[in-house]
């Protein structure tokens, strides 16, 4: 593609908006090497690209600084209820607190000698160093002194009482024989019915006799 002088103004505006060389090549429908060649052969194109990128970088720096120290921005919220004919716009101020990460990035870019991150190297100890450290810990370690435990004095146990002497058995002679078991005696008004014969009593059939 042949270079045209109007490309410088277009490149300046695109770089002010944050465009890169790859995006410029895509816009002009050329490869990135063509953009590099135009910057080397056309001074006005190179100055436009540099000025536009410096403006974009300055905007980013201002935004990073504002984020590092904190800033306030105006925002608008839109509310619309079901019965309202028109939406209601409410403007308010939103405050962003300082961001320590943004402040650290800013200081690293402005003062790299003071705020450069330190890289600490940690190396694993060798087996001999580990053995030496273990022996040093054992040497410095002192076992706690535990006092010996004395057995408690035995309490005096009372003597058991003497056992009573067994008394001699008594001789009562031979045991008497058991008494015979007799049937109980009948009462004095008892009449035995053994051997009696009872005659049957017949009652005539008919009306009951009159009472006496």
pLDDT in tens, 188-208: 776 666 556 555 655 666 666
> Which tokens belong to 203?
């009652």
User: How many angstroms separate the CA atoms of 68 and 105, rounded?
Assistant: 9
DSSP β-ladder status, 88-96 and 71-79: antiparallel
* pTM listed for this prediction: 0.40
> Which tokens belong to 132?
């030496």
HSE, side-chain direction, 13 A CA sphere, residue 135: 6
Please tell me which residue, 76 or 158, carries the higher pLDDT value: 76
Question: pLDDT digit string (tens) for 24-69?
Answer: 889 889 999 999 898 899 899 999 998 888 888 888 888 888 888 8
| Residue 86's pLDDT band (cuts 50, 70, 90) | confident
Average pLDDT over residues 162-180: 71
**The pLDDT of residue 93:** 92
Mention every residue, 6+ apart, whose C-beta is less than 8 A from residue 90. 76, 77, 78, 79
Contact present, 68 and 60 (Cβ < 8 Å): no
**The pLDDT of residue 190:** 65
| Residue 96's pLDDT band (cuts 50, 70, 90) | confident
Q: How far is CA 69 from CA 64, 92, 107, 112, in A?
A: 9, 20, 12, 19
Longest CA span, the chain: 173
What's the burial of 42, exposed, middle or buried (CB within 10 Å: 0-12/13-18/19+)?
middle
Question: pLDDT digit string (tens) for 103-161?
Answer: 888 788 788 778 776 666 666 778 888 888 888 887 777 767 767 666 665 555 667 77
**The pLDDT of residue 182:** 74
**The pLDDT of residue 79:** 86
Phi then psi for residue 11, to 5 deg, are: -65, -35
């Amino acid at each position: 593609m042949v270079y045209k002088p109007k490309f410088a103004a277009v490149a300046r505006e695109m770089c002010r908006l944050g465009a890169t060389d790859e995006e410029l090549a895509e816009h002009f429908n050329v490869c990135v090497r063509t953009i590099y060649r135009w910057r080397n052969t056309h001074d006005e194109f190179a100055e436009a690209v540099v000025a536009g990128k410096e403006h974009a970088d300055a905007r980013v720096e201002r935004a990073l600084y504002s984020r590092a120290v904190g800033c306030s921005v105006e925002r608008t919220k839109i509310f619309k209820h079901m019965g309202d004919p028109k939406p209601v716009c409410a403007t308010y101020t939103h405050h962003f607190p300082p961001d320590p990460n943004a402040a650290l990035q800013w200081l690293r870019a402005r003062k790299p000698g003071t705020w450069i991150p330190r890289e600490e190297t940690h190396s694993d100890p060798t087996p001999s160093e580990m053995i030496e450290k273990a022996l040093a810990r054992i040497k410095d370690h002192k076992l706690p002194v535990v006092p010996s435990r004395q057995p408690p004095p035995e309490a005096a146990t009372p003597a058991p009482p003497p056992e009573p002497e067994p008394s001699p058995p008594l001789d009562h002679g031979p045991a008497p024989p058991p008494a015979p078991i007799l049937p109980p005696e009948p009462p004095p008004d008892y009449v035995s019915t053994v051997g009696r014969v009872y005659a049957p009593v017949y009652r005539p059939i008919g009306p009951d006799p009159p009472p006496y």
